Structures are given as C-alpha cells and as structure tokens.
Amino acid sequence: MNKELMEALNILEREKEISKETLFEAIENSLLTACKNHFGKADNVIVEIDRDTCDFLCYAEKEVVEEVEDSVLQISVEDAQEITEGAKVGDVIRVEIKSKEFGRIATQNAKSVILQKIREEERSVIYNQYFEKEKDVVTGIVQRYVGRNISINLGKADAILNENEQVRGENFRPTERIKVYILEVKNTPKGPRILVSRTHPELVKRLFESEVTEIKDGTVEIMSIAREAGSRTKIAVRSNNPNVDAVGACVGINGARVNSIVDELCGEKIDIVNWDENPGNLIQNALSPAKIVAVFADPDEKTAKVVVPDYQLSLAIGKEGQNARLAARLTGYKIDIKSETQAKDAPGFRVEDYIYDDEDEYEEDAYEEGGYEEEYVEESGEDAGEYVEDETAVQE
C-alpha cells in the first residue's frame, strides 16, 4: 500500500473538500502527460490506480513485430518473449513503464497537472458552496477598504461590498463582524466573485426569518416589505394560525426580537403591520402610526385616496414623504393623501366616496375624527348630546 499517497489524499479531501475520485483522475492524467513528454506520444499508454491501496501501474500496449519501426508503439519478438513467454508476431502485450525513469521536465509537468486540477476543484467547491447561499444572509468579517468598496471575508472566500450596496452612514472597522446579503456569485478563472449587499430589502426579511421562529416554521408569513436602507423599513405580516399574533411574534417579548434586528441594522427603524386582503384596510395599516378617516382604493387602477385628520396630515406623509412612499411600496398602490379640509374643498367631494370597508364601523371612527360634524345637529335640553341625521326632523 502506498501509505504516503493515501494520507495526502485524505488530508486534501478533509481540508479542501475535494473528492478522492477527482484526485485519482488528476494523478492518472498527470502520468499520461509525463509519458507524452517523455516518449513524445501517449496514445497507447494506460494508467491504473487501485482506489483502496493507492498503488498505481503505468504501462504501454505494444504490438509485437519482426522489425521495429516505432519503439513507442511496437516491440520486437525477442523483447516481447522476455516479458511474455510464447509471444508471437501480431500480439499486443503490455510493457510496464517505470515512472522513476521520467526526466525532470516530465516530472515537473506531471506535478503541475496535479496542482492545477487541485486548484480548479478547490475553486469549484467554493463556488458551489456559496452559490447555494445566494439570496441568503451570511456573517462576514470586514478585512479592508478597497477604494470605496469593502472586502469582507466569508470564511473560504472574500466578498465585495460595493459602494452602492452600502448603507449611508455605516462605518465598519477591520475585524468587525457584520451580516450581509449575497446578491450574486459569479464563477471566474480566478475563483468565485461574490457580491454582497447591506441595502437590499431581502436582508431584513432573512434577518426576521432567522430571528423569529414562527416565520421560520411558516406560522407567520412576511407578505410584503419596503425599505429605505439606513432610515426605515415597513413589513406586512400575516399569521396562518388564528391563535398567533403575527405582529407580536415579530416584535417579541419587550421588543427583544425586533430590537436585535434593529441593532444589526445600526438603528434602522422598523414598522411591522398586519397584512389584510382588503386593500383599504391594508393601506390604513401601512400608513400607521397616522390615523385614517377614510380610504377609497381602486384595485383595478392600483390607486387609493386617503383622508386623514388635519393634524395627522404631516404624520401620514412623513418626513420628506417617507411614510407615504414606503406605504405605497408596501401595498403596491399609488396613494393620494388629503386632509379633511383639503378633501372637503375638492370639487364634488363626498366623504362616503372614500369609505372602502364596513360603513357602520367607519361612521363611528369618522365622527370621532370630526368627519361628519356638519351633518349632525346638537339639541339643547333633555336631548342634549343626541345626534340625528335628518336635519328637517330636528327643525320640526
């Protein structure tokens, strides 16, 4: 048994995850290359390696002839009979080739073939390993800044965090551990090229999947996500179990779950809202924390008109329009927000036109926000505080 070769193959398989069969094939090819360099051709050379003992045999098949014209392909009768008794003209016999007889150049070429194959397989293994993690989150160690890009070590390979995939305001120090989203893995002659991101919305989604058990097992589902990296993210969640509160599961006890994600994102604010199949309710949830008087959503045109109390208009729109912008991305609707005063001044405005969901439920909310106060008349005396819709009846 060739113990040294066996041990070397075991180490390569364990450390570089290269299969032994691939290495055996590399050795066979290297011996064929050495024969070709030594003899000038290797068409009749056969290499056999015992997979269990690592013993190898290299031989050439030669035709027995009376007069040798090509010593590589032919052998004389006398020489053939020394190897195999009874050999005669026309027979094909196997002549063993001693690898120790190869010259220095042939041996060096054989070594180069093996090393090249090992490097190719190593790159292939790394590529396959990270290609499987594409569109997923991994932890990396910041190595250095390359211009405005950042080189991040992911373990067996380095990734590039481009400037346009970095969150503005985030500064990392070398050796700092960060989580990144793998955008793309490319196979190049120099090895896999891995592009990662800190701004992609899927980064937040994957972080929730790893942090929230209910999302991982499918009890809670993330239906939509909208993000402005470094500032705010809105996600809409739905529970597939009536006994599980989707928002509560994502927030965690005392906000433990969501806070760990906020810390990973360097303080980025996260709004978690309930998903609703009713577009009106979904838009109302998406615009939180602003209070909504009424919503009219057009599913065909993917547009929505929203009325909010006057004092809630700036909150609904958000700083530089961020709240409305994220709500529009989250719901997929183009949202037009008006205050009650603006809506009433609009030509042909009727508050009933903005009611999308249950009317009775809306009327109570609308009155609380002052949406119907011009349609109700307050009496004095015994009936003080009682509201009726028919103004004529009050006058009578």
- Per-residue pLDDT of 13-44, as tens digits, reads 888 888 888 888 888 888 888 877 777 777 77
Q: What is the pLDDT of residue 351?
A: 55
Decide which of 130 and 371 is more confident.
130
Q: What is the residue whose two structure tokens read 């390993």?
A: 129
Decide which of 163 and 13 is more confident.
163
> Taking Cα atoms as reference points, which of 375, 25, 60 lies closest to residue 388?
375
Can you name the residues that pair with 90 across neighbouring β-strands?
Answer: none
Q: What is the pLDDT of residue 388?
A: 32
Q: Is the separation of the CB atoms in 110 and 33 below 8 Å?
A: yes
Q: What is the pLDDT of residue 159?
A: 93
Give the least confident one: 74-83, 169-178, 204-213, 318-327: 74-83
- Per-residue pLDDT of 329-376, as tens digits, reads 999 999 999 888 888 877 655 555 554 444 333 333 433 333 333 332
Q: What is the pLDDT of residue 190?
A: 82
Q: What is the pLDDT of residue 75?
A: 84
Q: What is the pLDDT of residue 139?
A: 93
Decide which of 277 and 390 is more confident.
277
Distance, CA of 51 to CA of 170 (rounded, Å): 54
List CB contacts of 211: < 8 A, sequence separation 6 or more: 257, 260, 261
Distance, CA of 179 to CA of 198 (rounded, Å): 8
Q: What is the pLDDT of residue 382?
A: 38
Half-sphere exposure for 233 (CA within 13 Å, toward CB): 28
What is the set of domains in the chain, with CATH numbers? 3-129 (3.30.1480.10), 133-199 (2.40.50.140), 205-273 (3.30.300.20), 276-396 (3.30.300.20)
Give the least confident one: 96-100, 170-174, 178-182: 96-100
pLDDT tops 50 at residue 186: yes
Distance, CA of 224 to CA of 204 (rounded, Å): 11
pLDDT tops 50 at residue 384: no
| Band of pLDDT at residue 392, cut at 50, 70 and 90 | very low
Task: Kindly report whether the global pTM for this prediction surpasses the value 0.85.
Answer: no
Burial level of 382, CB count in 10 A (0-12/13-18/19+)?
exposed
How high does pLDDT run on average in the chain?
81
Give the least confident one: 224-233, 322-331, 382-391: 382-391
- 3-class SS string, the chain: CCHHHHHHHHHHHHHHCCCHHHHHHHHHHHHHHHHHHHHCCCCCEEEEECCCCCCEEEEEEEEEECCCCCCCCEEEHHHHHHHCCCCCCCCEEEEECCHHHCCHHHHHHHHHHHHHHHHHHHHHHHHHHHHCCCCCEEEEEEEEEECCEEEEECCCCEEEECHHHCCCCCCCCCCCEEEEEEEEEEEECCEEEEEEECCCHHHHHHHHHHHCHHHHCCCEEEEEEEEECCCEEEEEEEECCCCCCHHHHHHCHHHHHHHHHHHHCCCCEEEEEECCCCHHHHHHHHCCCCCCCEEEEECCCCEEEEEECHHHHHHHHCHHHHHHHHHHHHHCCEEEEEEHHHHHHCCCCCHHHHCCCCHHHHHHHHHHCCCCHHHCEEECHHHECCEECCHHHHHC
- Per-residue pLDDT of 87-108, as tens digits, reads 888 888 888 777 776 777 777 8
Distance, CA of 333 to CA of 291 (rounded, Å): 18
pLDDT tops 50 at residue 377: no
Q: What is the pLDDT of residue 182?
A: 95
Q: What is the pLDDT of residue 365?
A: 40
Distance, CA of 359 to CA of 250 (rounded, Å): 31
Averaged pLDDT for residues 144-150? 91
Q: What is the pLDDT of residue 333?
A: 92
Percent of the chain with pLDDT over 90: 40
pLDDT tops 70 at residue 142: yes
- Per-residue pLDDT of 248-268, as tens digits, reads 999 999 999 999 999 999 999
Pairing of strands 191-197, 177-188: antiparallel
> Taking Cα atoms as reference points, which of 288, 224, 372 lies closest to residue 306?
288
Can you name the residues that pair with 184 across neighbouring β-strands?
Answer: 195
